[in-house]
Amino acid sequence: MIAVLDYGMGNLRSVEKALERVGAEAAVTNDHARVREADGVILPGVGAFPKAMERIRELGLDGLVRERLASGVPTLGICLGLQLLFESSTELGGAEGLGLLEGRVDRLAADGLKLPQIGWNAVTWTLGSPLVEGLPNPCAMYHVHTYAVRSEDVLGTATYGEEFTTAVERGSVYGVQFHPEKSGPHGLRLLSNFTRICAGAYVRAA
Amino acid at 202: Y
Q: Among the options 79, 143, 145, 169, which is catalytic? A: 79
Work out the burial of residue 164: count CB atoms within 10 Å of its CB; fewer than 13 is exposed, 13-18 middle, 19 or more buried. Answer: buried
Work out the burial of residue 66: count CB atoms within 10 Å of its CB; fewer than 13 is exposed, 13-18 middle, 19 or more buried. Answer: middle
Catalytic residue status for 181: yes
Q: Among the options 143, 145, 179, 186, which is catalytic? A: 179
Catalytic residue status for 102: no
Closest CA to 197 of 130, 116, 143, 137: 130
Catalytic residue status for 198: no
Q: Among the options 16, 91, 169, 181, which is catalytic? A: 181
Query: How far from chain centre, in Å, is Cα 144?
Result: 13
Active site residues: 79, 179, 181
